[in-house]
């Protein structure tokens, strides 16, 4: 009896260090990634500064200081001039984000409906799949001119452009995920008396959510990359319109500032989508 009682104390000391090492491992990896990103940013900044000083042509490569100066100028009011073209930088960005939000929401909603129908009804999939693929292959500017002829130069053609750009990725991802739902789970649900809608709602869609969310992230990225094309006509206020207007007057520092605003806000939106994905789909990546 004394021999069996002496075994647990011998195992207890080894459990503590293992647990502490596994708990500290993610922190070390996170710090390492942050350090690498910081070093990469410093290196890119140094290369940018060197390239600007070597070329000595601010129209070709503006210095980081010139871009920072434009950030201050476009974010404040100086000598009676408010921002750029009468709007602050945050206002340009806010208008573009609103357009992207509305256009992406319409495109994602339409893509979800079309994708679910394509994935569950065979003959609709045969008919609609080539159309969706055709639209996905078209560059945004190809049909933006048509929207201007139809709807004018106000907000309507811009929202149509962003909606059409965001729809195909969601439709394709949703249709593929719904069509590939596990047959065993579907048959089990039907054997329990579930109808088509109940099977789709309770079995197919939860199983397809990871792929659907990937399609949504791609759709938002496509819509964001299309905003400059959407704002080429009557795009001010708007970050794409600001970039387009600055390009006409060879204001490269304003163009670079606009690109930074688009890229950084895009990173923020993608980070928010990743966070939402982890909260809404906690089972993703788990067996």
What are the pLDDT digits (tens) for 240-283?
889 888 888 888 999 999 999 988 998 898 889 888 888 888 77
Do 37 and 86 share a structural domain? no
Do 243 and 117 share a structural domain? yes
The Cα-based distances of 283 to 76, 177, 207, 278 in angstroms read: 46, 16, 10, 8
Q: Is residue 88 part of a domain?
A: yes
Q: Which CATH number do you get for residue 120?
A: 1.10.3720.10
Question: Band of the pLDDT at 28, cuts 50, 70, 90?
Answer: low
Do 250 and 136 share a structural domain? yes
Q: At what angle do helices 252-280 and 89-120 cross, to 10 degrees?
A: 40
Q: Is 72 left (phi over 0), alpha (psi -120 to 50) or beta?
A: alpha
Residue of 70 and 3 predicted with greater confidence? 70
Do 141 and 214 share a structural domain? yes
**At which of 40, 56, 72 does a domain end?**
56
Cβ atoms within 10 A of the Cβ of 202, count?
13
Do 89 and 26 share a structural domain? no
Burial class (CB in 10 A: 0-12, 13-18, 19+), 5: exposed
Contacts of 69 (CB under 8 A, 6+ apart): 253
**What domain range is 89 assigned to?**
81-280
Do 138 and 227 share a structural domain? yes
pLDDT in tens, 188-235: 877 777 777 777 777 778 888 888 888 999 998 888 888 877 887 887
Q: Is residue 204 part of a domain?
A: yes
Lowest mean pLDDT among 57-61, 106-110, 216-220, 229-233: 229-233
Q: Is residue 39 part of a domain?
A: yes
Q: Is residue 287 part of a domain?
A: no
Token pair recorded at residue 47: 């290369």
Entry field: residues in the chain: 287
Q: Is residue 63 part of a domain?
A: no
Q: Is residue 224 part of a domain?
A: yes
Tally of domains within the chain: 2
Do 149 and 233 share a structural domain? yes
Q: Is residue 69 part of a domain?
A: no
pTM score of the predicted model: 0.76
pLDDT of residue 285: 60
pLDDT of residue 181: 76
Do 167 and 37 share a structural domain? no
Do 13 and 120 share a structural domain? no
Do 261 and 133 share a structural domain? yes
Q: Is residue 51 part of a domain?
A: yes
pLDDT of residue 4: 43
Do 44 and 168 share a structural domain? no
Task: Transcribe the chain into DSSP letters.
Answer: -HHHHTHHHHHHHHHHHHHHHHHHHHHHHHHHHHHHHHHHHHHHHHHHHHHHHHH--TTTS--HHHHHHHHHHHHSEETTEETBTTB-HHHHHHHHHHHHHHHHHHHHHHHHHHHHHHHH-HHHHHHHHHHHHHHHHS-HHHHHHHHHHHH-SSHHHHHHHHHHHHHHHHHHHHHHHHHT--HHHHHHHHHTT--HHHHIIIIIHHHHHHHHHHHHHHHHHHHHHHHHHHTTTT--SSHHHHHHHHHHTT-HHHHHHHHHHHHHHHHHHHHHHHHHHHHH-TTTT--
Closest-CA residue to 191 (of 237, 110, 183): 183
Do 43 and 162 share a structural domain? no
Question: What sign does the CA torsion over 172, 173, 177, 178 have?
Answer: negative
């Amino acid at each position: 009896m004394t021999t069996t009682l002496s075994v647990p104390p011998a195992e207890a000391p080894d459990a503590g260090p293992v647990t502490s090492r596994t708990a500290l491992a993610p922190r070390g990896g996170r710090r390492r990634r942050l350090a690498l990103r910081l070093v990469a940013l410093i290196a890119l900044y140094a290369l940018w500064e060197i390239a600007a000083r070597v070329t000595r042509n601010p129209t070709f490569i503006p210095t980081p200081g010139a871009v920072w100066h434009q950030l201050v100028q476009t974010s404040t009011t100086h000598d009676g001039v408010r921002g750029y073209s009468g709007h602050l930088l945050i206002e340009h960005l806010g208008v573009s984000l609103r357009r992207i939000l509305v256009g992406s929401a319409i495109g994602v909603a339409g893509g979800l409906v079309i994708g679910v129908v394509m994935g569950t009804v065979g003959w609709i999939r045969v008919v609609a799949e080539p159309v969706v693929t055709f639209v996905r292959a078209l560059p945004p500017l190809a049909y933006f001119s048509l929207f201007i002829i139809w709807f004018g130069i106000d907000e309507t053609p811009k929202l149509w452009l962003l909606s059409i750009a965001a729809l195909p990725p969601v439709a394709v991802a949703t249709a593929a995920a719904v069509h590939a739902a596990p047959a065993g789970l579907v048959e089990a649900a039907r054997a329990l008396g579930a109808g088509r809608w109940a099977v789709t709602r309770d079995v197919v869609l939860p199983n397809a959510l990871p792929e659907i969310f990937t399609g949504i992230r791609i759709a938002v990225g496509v819509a964001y990359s299309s905003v400059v094309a959407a704002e080429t006509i009557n795009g001010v206020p708007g970050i794409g319109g600001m970039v387009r207007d600055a390009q006409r007057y060879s204001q490269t520092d304003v163009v670079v500032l606009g690109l930074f605003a688009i890229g950084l806000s895009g990173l923020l939106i993608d980070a928010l989508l990743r966070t939402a994905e982890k909260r809404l789909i906690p089972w993703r990546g788990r067996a």
